Amino acid sequence: MTRWLGGAALTATAVLVAGCSGGMSGGKDESSASATPSLSAVPAQKLDWGRCEATSEGPAPGGDWRCATLRVPLDWSKPDGETIGLALIRSEATGERSERLGSLLFNFGGPGGSGVSTLPSYAGLTSELHKRYDLVSWDPRGVGGSEGVRCRSDKEIQAAESVDATPDDAAEEKAFFDDAAAFGAGCERAAGKLLSHVSTADTARDMDLIRRAVGDRKMHYFGISYGTELGGVYAHLFPGNVGRLVLDAVVDPTADAVGHAKNQTLGFQRALDNYLASTGQDPKQGTRKIADLLERIDADPLPTTSGRKLTQTLAITGIVLPLYSEQSWPGLTSALDAAEDGDGTELLALADGYNERDPSGRYGTTTHSQRVISCLDQKQRPTPQETKTLLPEFRKLSPVFGEFLGWDTAGWCHDWPVPGLTDSPEVSAPQADPVLVVGNTGDPATPYEGAEKMARELGEDVGVMLTWKGEGHGAYGSGSRCVDSTVNSYLLAGKVPEDGKVCA
């Protein structure tokens, strides 16, 4: 089972759904934010920047990139206790030293995305910012080089691809929930006590240690997708340390787990409608055609040139991937045409790209880390019966994506080994400096409405809204000179745009 990610890494490569945190009651739970431990209990550290090594995510970046390890408390309620290491990466500002503004910290979403492997490939979009900022990112706790969690083997991952994520009968339903429970048990074996200490609030506190370690008085930050939730939580915990924060492809901070699933169902269907209209099809008729194709694949998976079968779940994942970027829409047309002709090869290749499966059959672990983090954040755990009552509403929102995301509300954290922490993230930061919130009206993974809610929740005169009427996941670096220049002016000159500015 795969929940869709949100992140710049996936969008930029054009080949992460933003992770959920939420609760059944719908009210805020401030238990994780009510008492922020003092950083004074954590010894000051001098980072030893050295040559970056190759990782499981890719080769060493070379050039001016340098890597280091920062020690942070495993348990922030015991800041002078056991520590874990966080993997960091940096490239120093390319301009005059006298014009340097400090460090600009990036989180690319997921949750579960590796900043160490992503930042070098993303840096080309930020050349203007790089002149005056050191570009910095990190693997959050539980991710990649920072105690990354791997919950099952490659063989087990491939075997799980045969599990139907939209069960049609009692046997398929049992297999679905048995697989979910087995995944959680694997995460518990792999992560041990770390499993209870990978929350968004934990990572926000780590961020402030990073700020101190790089020598910045204020936090300058660029958060994308889930990174916007992380940035909002940071602003709530450390409002006095907020410098220039950009939140792009914004997660709705008011939504619970079911609310996030509904948001994504709406967002991906909206993107599918826009894609179908771009091909000259009626969106309603085109959606019905795709839904019919998926029903046929559910009953009889399609053959592929690799010998593997394209299941319904893999087909849906293959359809989702190109919707993250308008430039990938022609590939979706080709894959759907081939599937209609009985060949699942192209849709399977798209699904493999999303699932980080290489030609040798090795899988990445981003979705493992994503699940470990989001299931600790997320208090709401709908039962199978509660989910079944929700399915008609999900199907109405989208005949293509609704059932998948509806079942996911129960399966994602089913029988999880540790309880969830919060109902929904607290992001209010009434004493912080202005935060630039960027919403894209055509964003499939983090629908535009989430940006409006984030700006409102941050507080009056804090959340400043910038709208782009575009397509794809995220706005910065997506082809709008208006967006890019507005963001650059804010980060480089501190120029806060008028709240409500629209880039068409």
Summarize pLDDT for 220-230 with one digit per residue, the tens: 999 999 999 99
Q: Is 473 annotated as catalytic?
A: yes
| Secondary structure E strands in 188-329 | 219-224, 242-248, 302-303, 309-310
Q: Does residue 415 carry a catalytic annotation?
A: no
Handedness of CA 23, 28, 33, 35 (dihedral sign): negative
SS3 393: helix
Q: How far apart are alpha carbons 305 and 376 in whole angstroms?
A: 39
Residue 102 confidence (pLDDT) above 90: yes
At 6 the pLDDT is: 58
The percentage of the chain sitting over the pLDDT mark of 90, rounded to a whole number, equals: 88
What pLDDT, in 10s, does the model give residues 361-400?
999 999 999 999 999 999 999 999 999 999 999 999 999 9
29, 139, 216, 443: the catalytic one is 443
Which of 3-17, 38-52, 143-157, 396-410 comes out lowest in average pLDDT? Answer: 3-17
Q: What is the pLDDT of residue 36?
A: 58
Question: Which residues on neighbouring strands pair with residue 468, listed in sequence order?
Answer: 440, 503
Q: Is the pLDDT of residue 494 over 90?
A: yes
| Maximum CA extent, the chain | 67
d(CA 486, CA 476): 10
For range 309-322, the mean pLDDT: 97
Please answer whether residues 322 and 331 qualify as being in contact, where contact means their C-beta atoms are separated by less than 8 angstroms: yes
Q: Which two tokens stand for residue 430?
A: 């009434």
Q: Please check the confidence at residue 82 and state whether its pLDDT lies above 90.
A: yes
pLDDT, mean over the chain:
92
Q: Which pLDDT value is given to residue 118?
A: 95
Structure confidence by residue, pLDDT tens digits, 231-287: 999 999 999 999 999 999 999 999 999 999 999 999 999 999 999 999 999 999 999
Question: Among the options 32, 103, 117, 225, which is catalytic?
Answer: 225
- Is 197 catalytic? The answer is no
Catalytic residue, chosen from 473, 478, 480, 484, is: 473
**Interstrand relation of 102-107 and 133-138 (parallel, antiparallel or unpaired):** parallel
Distance CA 382, CA 414 (A): 8
What SS3 class is residue 417? coil
pLDDT band for position 318 (50/70/90)? very high
* Amino acid sitting at position 290: I
The rounded distance, in Å, linking the Cα atoms of 455 and 250 is 10
Structural contact between residues 91 and 64, judged by C-beta atoms closer than 8 angstroms: yes
CA distance 56 to 401: 31
Give the pLDDT band (50/70/90) at residue 56. Answer: confident
Token pair, residue 238, equals: 């450390």
Residue 388 CB-density burial (10 A; 0-12 exposed, 13-18 middle, 19+ buried): middle
Give the model's pLDDT for residue 37.
59
pLDDT at 7: 55
**H helical segments located in 328-480:** 329-340, 345-354, 366-377, 384-397, 402-411, 449-458
For 162-216, the pLDDT digits (tens) are 999 999 999 999 999 999 999 999 999 999 999 999 999 999 999 999 999 999 9
Q: Give, as one character, the DSSP assignment of residue 4.
A: P
Mean pLDDT of the region 469-473: 94
